[in-house]
Amino acid sequence: MSETNPKFTVTIDGQSVQVDPGTTILNAARMIGGDVPPPAMCYYSSLKGSGGKCRTCLVEVSKGSEKDPRPMPKLVASCSTTVMDGMEVKNKSSEKVIDARAGVVEMLLINHPLDCPVCDQAGECHLQDLAYEHGKSNTRYEFERRTFDKVDIGEYIKLHMTRCILCYRCVYVANQLTEQREHGVLKRGDAAEIGTYIEKSLKNEFIGNVIDVCPVGALTDKTFRFRSRVWYTKPMDAHRECKCCSGKAVVWMIGDEIARVTARKDQYGEVKEFICNECRFEKKGKADWTIEGPRHIDRSSVISANHYEVDAPEHTPLLNKA
């Protein structure tokens, strides 16, 4: 470790990386990339306070540090545990982690409906991916499941509380990105739910971003709901002059029509530049946008099966990868 530029070396699933002190295990894993980063359903790098809620990012610390090589006694949440110099971590290479992750998925699915065939999030849902990878075909849960009516929580947004995993991301977006927050997690424990409480509705100009940060299909875009399965649409990078936001978005096209507009997400499903409601909900004409070209979807996703970006030279269809 050099004095002028102190870095910590951390090894995750046998691959080493040098990171700044204070970096979390999850972010160190993302610096390595590939298959190494654990899944993260509640952490969101641009939202303060996010993480530590869903436990999908659990990892095993098999060596604490160079100075104190003892392993950590329990699995830790990688999104909220910082690295130490010489730390060794196991993610996919740990049977304990795989077992615990299957347990977390089983718990997340206890009250979750079998809605994938009709859910707008299908094809870009992190819970669907996790259930595919770790889910069991049967449930051990024998009690009555909690259910909720669907609620309109604003002009443009519908809440399916039954699909919510209480990750708090939408609450942090409303708190940190908009002028006012009109919703939150009401009640506690197994009664906890997202709600607006006294008939308030989400209506400020950046609130549409709650839809993008929601890792599941609990918050849906009323201008797009049930219009198309996402894999039948063609996502295109597009921009427009906007006084409110950067105007950089993805327009999801069906033929020549713009069916929905979202912000641009990275391979971890995170938005780096949030967009305003006007761009998202009110600009659905092709003339409203300058279309730049096909959006490359980095995540392993059924959207990539469409091969719509075949003309883009840098594109390697994900399904054709070994």
Q: Which does 165 bind (CB under 5 to 8 A by kind): ligand SF4, ligand FES, none?
A: ligand SF4
Distance in Å, CB of 216 to ligand SF4, minimum:
4
Question: What's the chain's length in residues?
Answer: 322
Q: How far apart are CA 157 and CA 223, in angstroms?
A: 8
Q: Does residue 8 belong to the site contacting ligand FES (CB under 6 A)?
A: no
Stretch in the footprint of ligand FES (CB under 6 A) among 39-47, 202-210, 264-272, 286-294: 39-47
- Is residue 318 within 8 A of residue 301, CB to CB? The reply is yes
124-143 residues in contact with ligand SF4 (CB under 6 A) are: 125, 127-128
- Is residue 156 within 8 A of residue 222, CB to CB? The reply is yes
- Residue whose structure tokens are 């875009």: 221
Nearer to ligand FES, 78 or 209 (CB): 78
Distance in Å, CB of 183 to ligand SF4, minimum:
9
180-239 residues in contact with ligand SF4 (CB under 6 A) are: 194, 213-219
- Residue whose structure tokens are 């507009």: 261
Q: Does residue 40 belong to the site contacting ligand SF4 (CB under 6 A)?
A: no
Q: Does residue 315 belong to the site contacting ligand FES (CB under 6 A)?
A: no
Q: Does residue 79 belong to the site contacting ligand FES (CB under 6 A)?
A: yes
The tokens describing 280, both together, are 């998202």
Please provide the DSSP assignment of 141-204 as one string: --SPPP----EE-SSSEEE-GGG-----HHHHHHHHHSS----EEES-GGG-EEE-TTT----S
Between 95 and 124, how does the x/- string for binding to ligand SF4 read (CB under 6 A)?
Answer: -----------------x--xx--x-xx--
Q: Does residue 164 belong to the site contacting ligand FES (CB under 6 A)?
A: no
Q: Does residue 165 belong to the site contacting ligand SF4 (CB under 6 A)?
A: yes
Q: Does residue 151 belong to the site contacting ligand SF4 (CB under 6 A)?
A: no
Residue 191: Cβ within 10 Å count: 8
How buried is residue 144: exposed, middle or buried, by Cβ count under 10 Å (0-12/13-18/19+)? exposed
Q: Does residue 91 belong to the site contacting ligand FES (CB under 6 A)?
A: no
Q: What are phi and psi of 110, to 5 degrees?
A: -55, -50
- Residue whose structure tokens are 């006084």: 243
Between 45 and 64, how does the x/- string for binding to ligand FES read (CB under 6 A)?
Answer: ------xxxxxxx-------
- Is residue 179 within 8 A of residue 118, CB to CB? The reply is no
- Is residue 263 within 8 A of residue 250, CB to CB? The reply is yes
Q: Does residue 51 belong to the site contacting ligand SF4 (CB under 6 A)?
A: no
Q: Does residue 75 belong to the site contacting ligand FES (CB under 6 A)?
A: no
Q: What single DSSP character describes residue 217?
A: S
The residue at minimum Cβ distance from ligand FES is 79
The residue at minimum Cβ distance from ligand SF4 is 119
Cα atoms found within 13 Å of the Cα of residue 41, Cβ hemisphere only: 23
Tell whether the torsion through CA atoms of 208, 132, 266 and 120 is positive or negative.
Answer: negative
Distance in Å, CB of 244 to ligand FES, minimum:
30
- Give the interface size with ligand FES as a residue count (CB under 6 A): 13
Q: Which does 153 bind (CB under 5 to 8 A by kind): ligand SF4, ligand FES, none?
A: none
Of 63, 101, 163, 264, the one binding ligand SF4 (CB under 6 A) is: 163
Interface residues toward ligand SF4, by CB under 6 A: 112, 115-116, 119, 121-122, 125, 127-128, 163-170, 194, 213-219
Interface residues toward ligand FES, by CB under 6 A: 40-43, 51-57, 77, 79
